[in-house]
Structure 1
Amino acid sequence: MKPSLSLIPLGGIGNVTKNMYVYAFENQYLLVDCGMGFPDPTMLGVDLLIPDVSYLLDKKEAIVGLILTHAHDDHIAGLPYILPQLGTNFPIYGSKLTIGFAADRLHEFGIPARFQELPDGPLTLGPFTINPIRVTHSVPDARHLAITTPAGIIYHGTDFKFDLNPVDGVLPDLQKMAAIGSQGVLALLSDCLNAESNDFSQSESTLKEMFLREMRGVKGKCVVTIMSSNIHRISQAVEAALAYNRKVAFVGRSIEQNVATATKLGFLKLPQPHLINKRDIKNVHPKHLCVLIAGSQGQIGSSLSRAAEGEHQLVTITPDDKVIFASEAIPGNEQNVYSTIDTLSKTGADVTYSDIDASVHVSGHSSSIEQKLLINLIKPRHLIPIGGTYHHMIQYRKNARSMGYRDDHIHLLDNGQILKFDQDRAWVDATLDLKNVMVDGLGVGDVGHIVLRDRARMKTDGIVVIIVPVEQQSGQVRGDIEVISRGFVYMKESQDIVTAIKTEATACLKHRGVVTDWQNIRKKIENSVQKKLYDLTERQPLILPVVMEV
């Protein structure tokens, strides 16, 4: 039997974030991207999500390299959490800007990495030969990858659009795509996020006119929030601000860092005399000021969220101000974004966003027309939609059917499914049991369903702590049981409930004798009190029994 090629998506299938793909051939592994995802509103206290790389932990020495396709966080920001698990023995390749942004992420954590800039021509890593293809997206310096393997060529076509009038003049390399397609391509992995759109994606360069229009006549300051990696959009916002003689300040760690790196690497040219330090905002009259601020996704604790709540030390939103959301919510972030818009609107400021003016944002993703054009250029035998939610994948399949593709050549995968290829066919061979790996502060993967359930219970019903002093030899209560309630009941007005809690806890310890299993005792108190409180209040606070031996 001939050796087969395997594709294993660890993230990026059926959702827009956490992108990470593994290509396996004869026990050698090539990784593509290493992104993070956003937690949903039920994941209380969780900062971000990362791919589950447990499949790779016993294969670390066989990883030949990692390729980063572009500089968005959903493709690079998992590195600080994943590399400590996989080690740093393999090289990491990316374009100049992508490596610059990725290196910034790792520098914050003090993690070394073997970064190398992707060449323009072929790069061989083990059995894989990677040929990068220049593409346009909402972040500059993005790449597609043509991966040649003994089983055939895989075209890894992550996030893209065909912008024929890009801000920096760097066009997508359609000629190279066509040349690769003429060689015979086994499979195309394609961005499918805008598969439901039938209009050609607008050029990023159209946004300068929008900024000029929106800033015209604003009495107060102009506040623009943008994805911090969208360097071309930042550049156009700055140009518009200068046209109205406004000084520009950058506020927010991510946007400040990305602007500094992009400027250093030559991807952003800013008129330094017109830029001010964010700490000088208070010294500039609002009508002469434009603030570019991080937090376009409504992230809790971001600079924009704090400014909206009136809690930012440097930026205050007033009724004379104009706030421009020059971005759209990433699928799954809608609740946070609209909550921030509501809070900003309550300040009296004029808030503009894509729901009321579609021109304030242009997508960085291909429409169905561009996706079909890519299919025609690459001419693959198999199609695999990636980077969208499931309904985007379904629409992509419908579009591919209209081009003559059969369903057995269009593969709608789930994360963890292992798709195998030989020169004749592709099939799902097995499925990995992937976990939702959550990052909470410095903890990676130590937050699971039970922790989230307890946090949800505390949020809705509060917490009750029961401190029980128990004599070790007799197992009986010695002294007063103390009850502490937070978010459940006001104790001074609920003495009957407090008494019921103490009674239940005492009953759990009657006739015990010498106690050796204190964990069981705590669990019994928890269950008994939980049932009693539900009977009394129809609420279920988190119960924390603390048994103190005296």
Structure 2
Amino acid sequence: MPNTVSEPRPLDRGVLRVIPLGGLGEVGRNMTVYELDGKLLVIDCGVLFPEEHQPGVDLILPDFTPIRDRLDDVVGVVLTHGHEDHIGAVPYLLRLRNDIPLIGSTLTLALVEAKLKEHRISPYSLTVKEGQREQLGPFELEFIAVNHSIPDALAVAVRTSAGLVLHTGDFKMDQLPLDGRLTDLRAFARLGEEGVDLFLPDSTNADVPGFTPLERDIGPVIESVISKSSRKVVVASFSSHVHRVQQVLDAASRNGRKVALIGRSMVRNMGIAADLGYLKVPQDVLIDAKAAGNLPDDRVVFMCTGSQGEPMAVLSRMANMEHAIEIGKGDTVILASSLIPGNENAVYRVIDGLTKLGANVVHKSNAKVHVSGHAAAGELLYCYNILKPRNVLPVHGEYRHLTANADLATSTGVPEQNAIIGENGIVVDLVGGVARVTGQLDLGYVYVDGSTVGEITEADLKDRRILAEEGFISIFVAVDAQTGRVIVGPEIQARGFAEEERVFDSVRPQIIKALQEAAENGTRDTHQFSQVVRRTVGRWVNTKHRRRPMIVPVVIEA
């Protein structure tokens, strides 16, 4: 059940306050604010991608309201890794104060700085690596290597006078990682010995039993699929999944194929990864899209975005035959990513569209072409047993994931009352090894729609859904305000109503009669006349057609 909104009491000195602004009850918008002695530390600042019931929305941001008037108190934004759901909202926060320090690993900062460049923001940044410690105001930060589906991910230990907090970011415990960079369990054990007062672990796979499969198991499967393909191959993945792109480059090279990166974010991110040495590009394998068009189909692999069914991404446009790269019979398409909750319908529509064009579509459900970047239940149990945290606040996951993670915590000995399951805006205060829920802020969604930020409301989205699903009817009438007599009209226009124009012949007399009766009852205002028209047409269309279109009456005095 949703938590009741309650304002927290003023924060006493020496007490650490933790407020997740995003990432609880959703996979995305990860952002957590830590407050101590008047200073604020932010860990991650990501976006959430819209679902089908949010038409026209490009991105969804965390609600910055709790810190909007306190930006001068922010000592820094720590970014755990370079995925959009952890860095995508940084430009929108820095629009409010552009000199907030950004702290992260080399690759993470390179990705976010490229993004900020597009927003014409030059950030102040501090590059850190595992084992490094930094003091930001009252917060002492220690950075710990963790393995994820993108290189250079870091967990963050936050030492304060109120206690020690460990924030994992996204992580798993791949024991044979492609880049040789293990999750540093020795550091976790050391923190456990020191005493972790509050643990904020990744929850995405908390309800998946066992252990996440090895990343290196995917390479041979991708290579096998490519080697058996007689025509062009298209591989779709996240634009920041360096490991997956590496596997595709290697498989293509061994099969005598060239690789073309398609999609602006894919080209940008992989260029950065290659320049920094995180992506090892085999000699003469990468070519541009134009050159790829001149090669035989059996000598090219296209690596693109769109694995989540995003309408404007490359793969969706291919499925809709709206892209220069045409998919045909005998082509192979590999969706090398997992499904983010909420995207299932969009992804399956893309799969159906590609299949209808004759492609052989290979995805996680029919081949081992992707493994998750998140720790499953077995790995989380290891962490709990190593850390022995006093309190747990699961983050990064839908409600079922948070609940499963809390259950894992209690199964290893964390007292049930110390395993806190919350929503965005929950206020948790920590002092003396005790974490208590002290409030619940009322946070909303902040929508990015084109160049506008935060101006689109839930009411606007409801109107868009009505327009998309039920259609639109406009009625123009000119009346004599004294008598209510219709002088011009009613002129009725409809869009998306799927009815012939003559269907409105039956409602026109009803409109005329209703306006006359309203005038006889003393109505003289055009707005009131408009409401009469709206109600009349609304009753008619609901009764006769079982529809609820958007009705826009325009009544003027003649």
Give the TM-score of the pair, scaled to structure 2. Answer: 0.93
Matched, 1:329 2:342: no
Output the CA distance in 1 between the equivalents of 2:337 and 2:133.
35
Q: Which runs of 5+ in 1 are unaligned?
A: none
1:267 to 278, 284, 298: 278
Secondary structure (helix, strand or coil) at the match of 2:40 reads strand
Counterpart of 2:534? 526
Contact kept in structure 2, 1:223 and 1:293, CA below 8 Å: yes
Displacement of 1:522: 3.1
- 8 A contact 2:258–2:292 mirrored in 1: no
State the 1:438 CA deviation. Answer: 1.8
Q: 8 Å contact 1:94–1:118 — kept in the other structure? A: yes
Q: How many residues in Structure 1 have an aligned counterpart in Structure 2?
A: 546
* Alpha carbons 1:203, 1:362 under 8 Å: kept: yes
1:310 aligns with 2:321: yes
Counterpart of 2:47 (choices 36, 43, 46) is 36
User: Quick check: 203-212 or 105-114, which moved more?
Assistant: 105-114
Is contact 1:36–1:50 with CA below 8 Å preserved after alignment? yes
Q: Residue 227 of structure 1 corresponds to which residue in structure 2?
A: 238
Q: 1:356-395 maps to which residues of 2 (within 5 A)?
A: 356-357=366-367, 359-395=368-404
Distance 2:483 2:233 in 1: 71
Counterpart residue number, 1:496: 505
Q: Deviations over 1:291-331 (max 9, x none)?
A: 11110000011110000111112x11111111111111111
1:111 aligns with 2:121: yes
- For structure 1, which segment, 73-82 or 265-274, has the greater mean C-alpha deviation from structure 2 after superposition? 265-274
Where do residues 455-534 of structure 1 align in structure 2 (5 Å cutoff)?
A: 455-469=464-478, 477-497=486-506, 499-500=508-509, 503=512, 506-507=515-516, 510=519, 518-534=526-542
- The match for 1:189 is 200
- How far apart are 1:41 and its partner, in Å? 1.9
**Hey, what does 2:462 align to over in structure 1?**
453
Following TM superposition, by how much is the alpha carbon of 1:28 offset from its aligned partner in structure 2, in angstroms? Answer: 1.1
> Match of 1:483, SS?
strand
The alignment partner of 1:145 has SS state of strand
What letter is aligned with 2:429?
K
Preserved contact between residue 169 and residue 201 of structure 2 (Cα < 8 Å): yes
Residue 3 of structure 2 corresponds to which residue in structure 1? none
Q: Deviations over 1:136-163 (max 9, x none)?
A: 1001110000001110110001210112
Please list the CA deviations of residues 267-308 of structure 1 after superposition, one character each: whole Å capped at 9, or x if unmatched: 112135222211233211111111111100000111100001
CA distance in 2, matches of 1:111, 1:545: 45
Structure 1 position 87 matched with structure 2 position 97: yes
For 1:45-444, list aligned pairs within 5 A.
45-84=56-95, 86-120=96-130, 121-271=132-282, 273-313=284-324, 315-357=325-367, 359-444=368-453
Preserved contact between residue 508 and residue 521 of structure 1 (Cα < 8 Å) = no
Cα deviation, residue 414, structure 1: 1.2
Which segment drifts farther, 517-526 or 125-134?
Answer: 517-526
> CA 1:266–1:475 in structure 2 vs 1: closer, same or farther (change >3 Å)?
farther
TM-score for both structures, normalised by structure 1: 0.94
2:548 pairs with one of 536, 540, 547: 540
Q: Give the CA deviation at 1:244.
A: 1.1
User: What does the per-residue CA deviation read over 1:61-117, in whole Å, with 9 as the maximum and x for residues that have no partner?
Assistant: 111111111011111111233332x31232111111111111222222223322221
Stretches of structure 2 lacking an aligned partner (at least 5 in a row) = 1-11
Deviation at 1:509, TM superposition (A): 6.6
Distance 1:513 1:405, change over 3 A: closer
Identify if the C-alpha distance between structure 1 residues 335 and 507 changes in structure 2 by more than 3 Å, giving closer, same or farther: farther
8 Å contact 2:473–2:549 — kept in the other structure? yes
Change (3 A) 1:510 1:20: same
Q: State the alpha-carbon separation in 2 of the partners of residues 498 and 252 from structure 1.
A: 51
Q: What SS does the corresponding residue of 2:307 show, helix, strand or coil?
A: coil
Contact 1:504 1:528 in 2 (8 A): no
Q: 3-state DSSP class of the match of 2:267? A: helix
